[in-house]
Amino acid sequence: MKKNRLSEEEYVNGILHGDRVTLSRAITLVESSLPSDQQLAEKVMERVLPFSGKSIRIGVTGVPGVGKSTFIESFGKLLVEKGFKLAVLAIDPSSQKSQGSILGDKTRMENLASDKRAYIRPSPAGAALGGVSAKTREAMLLCEAAGFNVILIETVGVGQSEIAVKGMVDFFLLLMLAGAGDELQGIKKGIIEMCDALVINKADQENVEAAKRAKKEYSNALHLFQAKENGWFPKVMICSGLMNIGLEEIWEMIEQYVLKMKDNGFFERNRQEQRINWMHEHIRFLLESKIYQSETIKKKIQDILPEIKNGNYSAIAKARELVDLFLQKQKGE
């Protein structure tokens, strides 16, 4: 048995007793690509799943430089002072060449990281959709089973990350900056359909007036959109993570949202849909993994790569050929 791997029982007992070292080891286990680790991780997940689901899950996104880490640290400090047990899952950008990641969120959230009431887990984004770790869902459920009742998920805020994080949280918060261009150009239907609140950060010092103007412009523009199917109309607020301005109001808004969604039944329906989507996503993940683990497919890919590079073959046609070859091989086994 690997030196750093615990038994199924040790993982389960440690997680359910809120042991952070065991929790961290369990998250490392679910992030592992080794087949033996994946099998053990599935058993651990099955055991702790009944103890999960009792948190408020909040996604925080925004372009790099918007102040996500500063906001999360200040917001997180507010939550732990209110008595909540907070887990922050911070998804770090990975290098597409080396697959290495910065994993600097604990450094950027030094004060929160040192608070025993909070748990911060940076994870490399890898090749997952839009920079959201493929194992973030499992990590979130493990944190819930360990007793954390507020989960913040921070994304790198690029590509399709907003779509991915929206599919695993209860409340989706979009951070923006004032004066970063024409505010109204930032109002895109897709983002508005996804976000539950649009928060203009860094509303302090000389930026206060600009933030107020941006809030007014966004609020006016939002009236052009219909309310969501859940009856919630996205709120526009201003805050300063650095100066702790507006954070209390943001939490009150989230509480109002959760209360309303539970009253109208949307809260549980949303989670049910997310579980179904999670299954479909994992099917795609498992199939892709199995295809690329096949020695026959790996050899075939190496054989055709030069011709694909030169444009002699259609990449689409070869992709279909590879999948058909994999399926034929599966039938023959």
Q: pLDDT tens digits for the chain (333 residues)? A: 455 689 999 999 999 999 999 999 999 999 888 889 989 999 999 999 999 999 999 999 887 888 998 999 999 999 999 999 999 998 765 433 434 344 445 556 788 988 889 999 987 655 454 335 568 899 999 999 999 999 999 887 655 667 778 889 999 999 988 875 444 555 566 677 788 999 999 999 899 999 999 899 888 888 777 778 898 989 999 999 999 999 999 999 999 999 999 999 999 999 999 999 888 888 888 898 889 989 999 999 999 999 899 988 899 999 999 999 999 988 876
Which pLDDT does position 227 carry in this prediction? 78
> Do the domains at 1-50 and 52-264 have one common CATH topology?
no
Q: Which CATH architecture has domain 52-264?
A: 3-Layer(aba) Sandwich (3.40)
Which pLDDT does position 140 carry in this prediction? 95
For residues 130 and 155, the answer to whether their CB atoms sit within 8 Å is: yes
- Pair of tokens at residue 49: 């799943």
Helix axes 8-16, 20-31, angle to 10 degrees: 130
For residues 175 and 62, the answer to whether their CB atoms sit within 8 Å is: yes
Query: What is the Cα–Cα distance from 80 to 148, expressed in whole angstroms?
Result: 11
Which pLDDT does position 48 carry in this prediction? 98
| DSSP, res 183 | G
Query: What is the Cα–Cα distance from 294 to 322, expressed in whole angstroms?
Result: 11
- Could you say which of 1.20.5.170, 1.10.3720.10, 3.30.1330.10, 3.50.50.60 is the CATH number of the domain covering 1-50? 1.20.5.170
Q: How far is CA 30 from CA 3, 140, 147, 226, 325, in A?
A: 16, 11, 18, 40, 30
Which pLDDT does position 99 carry in this prediction? 40
Q: Where are the domains of the chain?
A: 1-50, 52-264, 276-332
Query: What is the Cα–Cα distance from 305 to 297, expressed in whole angstroms?
Result: 12
Query: What is the Cα–Cα distance from 58 to 250, expressed in whole angstroms?
Result: 12
